[in-house]
Structure 1
């Protein structure tokens, strides 16, 4: 049976956060780094699009390109597609020898040189994995991971991709995972005012492993743009503390096919001010207290009368209520006052 959002596995969605941009801005300060504008598309091959991409990347104002299914190999050079003075290009081409396939696959991330960036080593660097991770450095660092998983791939391939991402989430920083995961059976639905999308019809081993693990590490899926076949193959997972907007690109690099929608992702970085809290707590002061007083008070209660005809669960509530009253009436209360600096918490638990 397929799992629905109400399944405890997806208990992440019992939380909701401020999703209104102005609400977030009222609680935070922009940290000075320019907000990132990212172009994301499964391009279905770049071999014949070098001039097209070179002109596109040189004249558009995208900070980062994430391109899936590049179909490139060692015979193609980075500067054929991007101006080397403008972009630092990172690629993971398909391993032709291992796969026996000379077409398809490959991922690419290009970052404007005005940002400091570097390639991030993956836990599993098998050349069979079309996966790449780049760190973009600044006032707020972000890891950007690109993945391509071919249709009908085995479960172990999905596991390898997911495990590589999970190994990097331990950094507790900003994270964005973009890719064509070819999980066409999953349906994504909006949840009230939340920006996170809820996965439905999750049933296969690969689907469950990816969704369970990504959600458990605070990575939420935000792409709700269906392709021409009313399916979503290209997924975008971000850490749930990032403010963003996602739009379909009206002037894409190449004409979209049936399966993929070119997207533009805007990411805003905020740091939250420290707020001063004076915390007041109280607790019972048992020091030098005469427990005989409590014993006497408990002895005079007619418990049989209180419990007669009452269900076990209600008996416990009655017992707890009486004991609590005895303690409050007889044990001194100690007041504790202390101060601390804490980050404002934007989560509201329902």
Structure 2
């Protein structure tokens, strides 16, 4: 029976933005597994993954079930942030070491394939620190440590709706267990979720969504593009609502934080929170802006600055929270601009000036 294995100790990188650390997941009932994310490369993480894989080797030997040519066939990276791909080098080195440790001389070592959704070039500035960091890690990998893509590059580009078939499907199942790629831009342009469709869902429970950083186990997710982010959340819920049980899921296994048992309810909460904030901003933006400060250009069109909006919405909060709040307000304004409901009149940072576009 297909069993979901979750590495419980995360990648040992707790912090303000990583919460207790970055979660990585082994998926499958026995080798070869699929590994979702690699952590950021902390020394304390590799022994935890090693212990989990050694346990599977011992089970394999005890059950006399034969040996797979690799312990992990595929590594799926959910997006371009270092805490999700920085452990690649150490994990590839570990997998070669464990293969040799098994002592199965008749099995030729097959290194894993590495997968990531291609960052859309239109979304990237000419010099992007995230992409540069990722390329630096890739360039450090020995060519023999991974199975290259047909193009010869280390990365196999993911496609939306692409499915990975999981081995060891129960004999009673009519379809194999699969992991399906769901492109969910917003946190980053290349962010994905993965839907685990269990072949034995009737026995093991509903399907599972691996949400990476699109939905967190606690706190609020961070995003680069709010329009894309809301669309991604709505798409995940819509697919679940209009499809058959094949697309249903209950639990969410996030990139940070604990497992969320009622994932759809949390996604709905995320959307409601953002739409409520947007409604607040629209109410402010559609009102008369404050008079310009002394010395301002008298020819300027009356407008709200981001700081003006923050001062109204967050008036009951300490002012030391206003600056981070201003970043979120700015993202909401960009979404309203995309929706044709607001227009930027210029300015930089919190002094950026905005006006409301009323519906005709």
Q: Which has the larger radius of gyration?
A: 1
Higher strand share: 1
Which structure would you say has the larger RCO, counting Cα contacts within 8 Å and 6 or more residues apart? 1
TM-score, reference length from structure 1: 0.28
Higher helix share: 2
